[in-house]
């Protein structure tokens, strides 16, 4: 009876293999009271910030910073968690923006509701992420960067030449996003909506980072060959990372189109992809909070200069990347490396069903 009982108490890895993959790994790290107080103070400051600013100019800059946070945290999944550097991330941004612009404007005479188009844009961006990741599975480094760069330029050129997208003139008179009784019409409305989305995105991505999927992503980033040897399905996890990373870009594109009420291919050129990558590198590659800090910092530095140094923004991004590469290669807020685990904790993690993901 004791032998039968011990056999039945053992977990069966074949039962519901996908249910355990997103459960956070056991961690002994807890927030101290001072950290909780700092988070609460930051939340109160962010909620009160629009009321402390006069006029809409700086509120619109904060809206752009929030959109930048969504983009940087999304790209951080690819570049920081898995090590897949992308120079065409703005293509997913464009897909989301044009999905909403085409289906909620007089361009095609269609005015679908925001509640339908918002998740649709994220889904189409994820599908595009899967399509571009499949042929690039065996590429890394410079070759992967060139493929993603080509993908971004292909999307931009298609938007610039296809007739129904408006070509170089773009699409105007885009509908204001409205959900139930709430409509986003002023920069302050967008600020609070974007702030809520940024908080939700960072929470979800932090859960994924602490899950078995996040652990497998970091294993691929550090040594893909060793990860494959240990049974990690690297190809499937890299496709998943590209799909997950593309969703925030598609959602951010919808908010950008609604905020500007106008989109054109110029808004999604190579300089935007380089700018998003600069946010991740400057903030701290692999750290969610660092990517958010980098997005806010670079947006506050470059966005007010857009009308004065529009064609020199790529030079500004390049200079920032060079400065951080020389003097602060780990970024403003670097990723916290895990220290060596105790043998007891290591034994608790020997049943990771990574091969079942």
At residue 245, the pLDDT reads: 94
Q: Rounded to whole angstroms, how far apart are CA atoms 176 and 111?
A: 11
**In this predicted model, what pLDDT tens digit does every residue of 195-252 receive, in sequence order?**
999 999 999 999 999 899 999 999 998 888 898 988 889 899 999 999 999 999 999 9
What contacts 45, CB < 8 A, 6 or more positions away? Answer: none
Q: Is the residue at 50 inside a domain?
A: no
Cα separations in angstroms, 276 against 104, 167, 294? 26, 24, 9
At residue 10, the pLDDT reads: 46
Q: Rounded to whole angstroms, how far apart are CA atoms 74 and 276?
A: 10
Least confident segment among 50-54, 115-119, 257-261: 50-54
Q: Is the residue at 33 inside a domain?
A: no
Query: Do residues 152 and 89 lie in contact, with contact meaning Cβ atoms separated by under 8 Å?
Result: yes
**In this predicted model, what pLDDT tens digit does every residue of 26-60 receive, in sequence order?**
544 566 777 788 888 888 988 988 888 887 888 99
Q: Is the residue at 19 inside a domain?
A: no
Q: What does the pLDDT average to over 283-312?
A: 81
The DSSP symbol for 20 reads S
Q: Is the pTM of this model over 0.75?
A: yes
- Would you say residue 347 has pLDDT above 70? no
At residue 138, the pLDDT reads: 76
Q: Is the residue at 125 inside a domain?
A: yes
- Would you say residue 136 has pLDDT above 90? no
* Band of pLDDT at residue 16, cut at 50, 70 and 90: very low
- Which is nearest to 92 in space by CA: 253, 236, 200? 253
- Would you say residue 69 has pLDDT above 80? yes
- Which is nearest to 85 in space by CA: 203, 241, 202? 241
- Would you say residue 341 has pLDDT above 50? no
Q: Is the residue at 200 inside a domain?
A: yes
283 token code pair: 């903030």
Average pLDDT, rounded, for the chain: 82
At residue 295, the pLDDT reads: 92
At residue 4, the pLDDT reads: 43
Domains contained in the chain, number: 1
Q: Rounded to whole angstroms, how far apart are CA atoms 266 and 246?
A: 20
More confident residue, 119 or 21: 119
At residue 2, the pLDDT reads: 44
More confident residue, 126 or 319: 126
- Which is nearest to 321 in space by CA: 144, 87, 92, 146? 87
Strand partners, 172: 262
- Which is nearest to 356 in space by CA: 4, 5, 1, 11? 11
The DSSP symbol for 55 reads S
Q: What's the domain range around 66?
A: 57-266
Q: Is the residue at 144 inside a domain?
A: yes
Q: What is the DSSP string of 191-217?
A: HHHHHHHHHHHHHHHHHHHTSHHHHHH
Q: Is the residue at 346 inside a domain?
A: no
Q: Is the residue at 45 inside a domain?
A: no
- Would you say residue 264 has pLDDT above 50? yes
Q: Rounded to whole angstroms, how far apart are CA atoms 15 and 335?
A: 34
Give the count of beta carbons closer than 10 Å to the beta carbon of residue 326. 8
Q: What does the pLDDT average to over 298-320?
A: 73
| Run of H or E including 42 | helix 33-52
Share of the chain above pLDDT 90, in %: 43
- Would you say residue 18 has pLDDT above 60? no
How many Cα neighbours within 13 Å face the side chain of 264? 7
At residue 24, the pLDDT reads: 54
304 token code pair: 């007010």
């Amino acid at each position: 009876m004791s032998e039968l009982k011990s056999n039945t108490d053992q977990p069966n890895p074949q039962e519901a293999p996908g249910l355990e993959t997103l459960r956070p790994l056991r961690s002994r790290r807890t927030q101290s009271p001072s950290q909780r107080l700092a988070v609460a103070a930051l939340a109160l400051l962010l909620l009160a910030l629009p009321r402390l600013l006069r006029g809409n100019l700086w509120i619109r800059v904060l809206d752009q910073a929030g959109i930048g946070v969504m983009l940087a945290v999304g790209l951080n999944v690819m570049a920081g968690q898995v090590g897949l550097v992308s120079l065409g991330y703005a293509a997913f941004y464009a897909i989301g923006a044009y999905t909403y612009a085409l289906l909620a404007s007089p361009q095609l005479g269609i005015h679908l509701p925001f509640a339908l188009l918002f998740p649709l844009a994220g889904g189409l961006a994820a599908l595009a992420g899967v399509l571009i990741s499949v042929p690039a599975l065996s590429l890394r480094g410079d070759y992967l960067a060139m493929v993603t760069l080509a993908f971004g330029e292909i999307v931009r050129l298609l938007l610039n030449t296809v007739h129904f997208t408006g070509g170089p003139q773009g699409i105007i008179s885009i509908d204001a996003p409205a959900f139930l009784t709430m409509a986003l019409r002023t920069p302050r409305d967008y600020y609070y909506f974007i702030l809520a989305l940024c908080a939700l995105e960072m929470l979800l991505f932090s859960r994924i980072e602490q899950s078995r999927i996040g652990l497998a992503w970091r294993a691929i980033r550090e040594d893909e060959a060793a990860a494959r040897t240990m049974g990690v399905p690297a190809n499937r996890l890299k496709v998943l990372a590209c799909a997950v990373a593309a969703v925030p870009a598609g959602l951010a594109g919808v908010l950008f189109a609604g905020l500007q009420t106008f989109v054109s291919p110029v808004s999604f050129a190579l300089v935007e992809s380089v700018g998003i990558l600069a946010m991740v590198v400057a903030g701290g590659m692999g750290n969610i909070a660092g990517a958010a800090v980098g997005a806010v910092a670079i947006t506050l530095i470059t966005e007010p200069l857009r009308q004065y140094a529009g064609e020199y923004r790529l030079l500004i991004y390049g200079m920032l990347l060079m400065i951080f590469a020389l003097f602060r290669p780990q970024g403003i807020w670097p990723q916290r490396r895990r220290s060596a685990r105790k043998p007891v904790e290591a034994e608790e993690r020997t049943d990771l069903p990574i091969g079942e993901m």
